[in-house]
Amino acid sequence: MTTLLALETATEACSCALLHGDDLALREHLAPRRHGDLLLRDCQWLLERAGLTPADLDAVAFGRGPGAFTGLRIAAGAAQGIALAHDLPVIPVSTLAIMARGAHRRLGARRVLVTIDARMGEVYWCAYAIDEGGLPQPLAEERVSDPAHVHLPEAGEWTAVGTGWAAHGEALARATGLDPSRARAHWYPSAEDLLPLALAELAAGRALPAEAAQPVYLRNRVATPGG
């Protein structure tokens, strides 16, 4: 029986999920600037509800970004702290991939363009195809760019999700040819969708030592007000 704790705080949404065998429990909030107050409290609640302690975990997974600077540090720091204290491995997972997995789970999407508002007139983005196992596979590397440089790697039906559309909908529509009215602009990552990606990484032997719990920013200009 695999037991995983998953943490995701890269955007305005804060969530954590516990998988214990076939039992999945989730806590999530749309609470900007409160992630530090909520995350560890919710993790403790999930473990106590399941009658577990951190020592019972097989690994701690976390959304590694890209995303907001402060949020990324909160999830990575919490994952590292729990893992170090209990000699556990960590599993970093792309926040963009987590969002693509959510689009497949909730909408049945097979090709997903994910964008997150990166401030400074830019977006974090990546395009994914969903494989037969329901997992998103990137069709190119994750990027941060001007919305005008976002593009689709292939023709076909695409589902667009993420806050990039709320901030730069017209520019993204011109760049991709997608209908902005059909984009899910207020779409956030959930730790529930982190879990299947983390399970795949664990099964493939790609869990890392706790010291490797580092966020991915995609750019150096990260310490911005409200980030």
List all residues 6 or more positions away from 1 whose beta carbon is below 8 Å from its beta carbon: 20, 21
To which residue do tokens 């998953």 refer? 6
Distance from the first to the final alpha carbon of the chain: 38
Confidence category of residue 33, pLDDT binned at 50, 70, 90: confident
Closest CA to 9 of 42, 44, 47: 42
Q: Tokens 């970093």 belong to which residue?
A: 92
Residue 171 CB neighbours (<10 A): 19
Average pLDDT over residues 84-102: 98
Q: Which of 133, 122, 128, 183 is nearest to 154 (CA)?
A: 128
CA-wise closest residue to 102 among 191, 216, 13: 191
The least confident of 33-42, 51-60, 162-171, 190-199 is 33-42
Average pLDDT, the chain: 95
How do residues 135-145 score in pLDDT, each as one tens digit?
Answer: 999 999 999 99
- pLDDT band at residue 80 using 50, 70 and 90 as cut-offs: very high
H or E element in which residue 104 lies: helix 95-107
pLDDT of residue 2: 97
Residue 222 has pLDDT above 70, yes or no: no
How sure is the predictor about 32, in pLDDT bands with cuts at 50, 70 and 90?
confident
Asked if the model's pLDDT at residue 223 lies above 70, the reply is no
> What DSSP state is assigned to residue 120?
T
**Residue 224: is its pLDDT beyond 50?**
no
All domains in the chain, ordered by first residue: 3-94+189-212 (3.30.420.40), 96-182 (3.30.420.40)
What burial letters (b/e) apply to 61-89, b meaning 16+ CB within 10 Å?
Answer: bbbbbbbbbbbbbbbbbbbbebbeeeebb
DSSP code at position 103: H
CA distances from 17 to 84, 119, 176, 212 (A): 19, 28, 34, 21
Nearest to 29 by CA among 21, 18, 19, 41: 41
Angle at the Cα of 58 from the Cα atoms of 54 and 59, rounded to 5 degrees: 80
